[in-house]
């Protein structure tokens, strides 16, 4: 099980605004600013219930080197993420739909963030709403 992921972004403010809006439908609404020092960069943490597991740092991104997926509680959450991410400036890669090539209950969407990172949101429970 993963504890956290750090994603390098080219424009800290732009990506922070994107993820704040896009992750809200998934219940990821806690944010934390970590002020870097002694060579450690500034970070922006995203999480829920005081647990921060998704972090941004500014630098030179390499979107082809990373893929990450967030779990949704239902297909409705997948759809809500997609709408929020597009409204926040993301680009559609794959619209929300069943992905039967993976599993009969695999429902997902893929969106490209402002730097082109491939962001997946998936529900594997068959729960519609």
27 in the Ramachandran plot: left (φ > 0), alpha (ψ -120 to 50) or beta? left
At 82 the pLDDT is 98
- DSSP strand pairing (51-58 vs 5-9): parallel
- 116 close to 63: Cβ distance less than 8 angstroms: yes
Domains of the chain by range and CATH? 5-123 (3.10.180.10)
Query: What single-letter DSSP state applies at residue 40?
Result: P
At residue 122's C-alpha, the angle toward residues 120 and 127, to 5°, is 160
- Which of 96, 94, 80 lies closest to 21, judged by CA? 80
Give me the tens of pLDDT residue by residue for the chain, a chain 129 residues long: 679 999 999 999 999 999 999 999 999 999 999 998 898 899 999 999 999 999 999 999 999 999 999 999 999 999 999 999 999 999 999 999 999 999 999 999 999 999 999 999 999 998 998
């Amino acid at each position: 099980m993963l504890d956290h992921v750090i994603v390098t972004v080219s424009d800290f403010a732009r990506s922070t605004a994107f993820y704040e809006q896009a992750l809200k439908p998934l219940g990821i609404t806690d944010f934390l600013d970590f002020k870097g020092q002694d060579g450690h960069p500034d970070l922006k943490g995203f999480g829920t219930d005081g647990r921060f597991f998704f972090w941004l740092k500014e630098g030179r991104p390499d979107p082809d080197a990373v893929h990450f997926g967030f779990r949704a509680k239902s297909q409705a959450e997948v759809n809500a993420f997609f709408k929020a991410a597009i409204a926040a400036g993301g680009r559609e890669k794959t619209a929300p739909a069943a992905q039967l090539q993976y599993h009969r209950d695999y429902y997902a969407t893929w969106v490209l963030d402002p730097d082109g990172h491939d962001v997946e949101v998936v529900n594997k429970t068959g729960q519609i709403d």
